[in-house]
Amino acid sequence: MREAHPVERAVGMEYYVSDASGIGGRLRESPEDFRVTEVEAFEPDPLDADPGAYPNVLARVTLRGWDTNDFASELSDRLGISRERVSWAGTKDKHAVTTQLFSVEKVDPDDLRAVDIRDTEVELLGRTGRPVLFGDLAGNAFEITVRGLDPDAPELADAVTADLRAFASGDDPGDIGGDDPVESGDADPIAAADDPVTVGVPNYFGQQRFGSKRPVTHEVGLAVLRGDWKGAVLAYVGNPAEREPESTREARAYVDETEDWAGALERLPKRLGFERSMCHRLVERQEEGDDELDDEDYRAALEAVPSNLQRLFVNAAQSYAFNRILSERLERGLPFNEPVAGDVVCFADSDAPAGVALPDTDRTQRVTEDRVRTVRRHCERGRAFVTAPLVGTETELGDGEPGEIEREVFDDLDLDPGDFDLPGEFASTGTRRAILLRSDLAISRREDDALAFSFTLPKGSYATVVLREYLKGDPDDL
């Protein structure tokens, strides 16, 4: 295993599982280089269905260069409705072309059809009795082009693919041909053809979960879980990062030094809308006579941002702990493709669309010593998946060495399942998540010497977690 980039290690991704050299390059020279299409798992009723029983209009929207939250805000503004009436199944990256589901509550379909927003296409699909919710999709299909590559990129990609095939199956990379082809002069064109091969990586939460240029959402969440509401606001509004523009760093440093929220509003760039919303709320509280702000005021500031962002803070803390657990499992040499005694597995969703291996984390089983061989066979056939916890109030930890890893990580972070018994959107019961991410991946060469990667992932998994193994560079290039 190779040690990961320092920015990745800061969010719990300690290693690459591929020892082969990276291909270099960068993603997203244009939005068209990163295409994402949701694998839908939501069937609407017709548009002419009774709006009383089916108040939500479902649309398939293609966005070019739009952040999901920003588009939802723009759409609600154009329609003259509350942003809370716009829902979606999955949050997508801004620097991409994305096709995804949105629902809008209590809107005339003709009004939605008439909205003309730049770089968007809206296709109305029908009506639903409830809004589309986060997770109402089976997965995402990716078509990603990597440019600016190392001259030996095709051969290096072959070597990475060999390592990832071995990780998916638990085999020794040498058995599949994982020697560096550039060194040996004997390249096996595993990844250069259009035919897909099955690869596997740790199912890390990608850098986007925490902030690509400023990975702080987990720091906000950890402060919330410790009851430090003021610290959570300062972690989000203050806390400057080296990769931000100088003016932004100066504004955040001013917040840290002065805690002058009115002054912060004068300095924070307009594009930092969520930070400004928190400051506005604190200024309002002070104007109401609360010169000495308390925990209730700082919690109110955090609640000034959209509900999905409030949830993300705590979710990011869970994700950070999960990444740490996976990194520790790698370091100890425990398998990802099959269980050991003490693991908790979940079973495959039998209703998932073809081509998507979707874990059903509502159906779990603890693996005892006498059940290891049986459960391993289920994992080999794609019927079960080894999991780790996304800790919450109802989390049950594993036994044996897997449980030991989980407890050590939570102790180090000073986390306890009871900490997630919080008000409003900050509460979480927790769940489990598969630790191995498998996909059938194809790589094709473009005429301009770029490489194009095509693969499909189950919902909640990150394409960049696959691509980071190939590029092995700065997460800014992902």
Active site residues per annotation: 93
CA torsion angle 468 470 474 478 (round to 10): -60
Torsion angles phi and psi, residue 59, rounded to 5: -135, 145
Structure tokens at 451: 């490489």
Q: Are 232 and 317 in contact (CB under 8 A)?
A: no
Burial of 295 per CB tally in 10 Å (0-12, 13-18, 19+): exposed
Single out the residue of 413, 414, 416, 466 nearest to residue 436, CA to CA.
Answer: 466
Structure tokens at 137: 């999709």
* Angle separating helix axes 295-302 and 229-237, nearest 10 degrees: 40
Torsion angles phi and psi, residue 205, rounded to 5: -80, 130
CA distance 91 to 113: 22
CA distance 360 to 387: 11
Task: Give the count of beta carbons closer than 10 Å to the beta carbon of residue 316.
Answer: 23
Residues paired with residue 141 on neighbouring β-strands, in sequence order? 37, 456
CA distance 415 to 439: 33
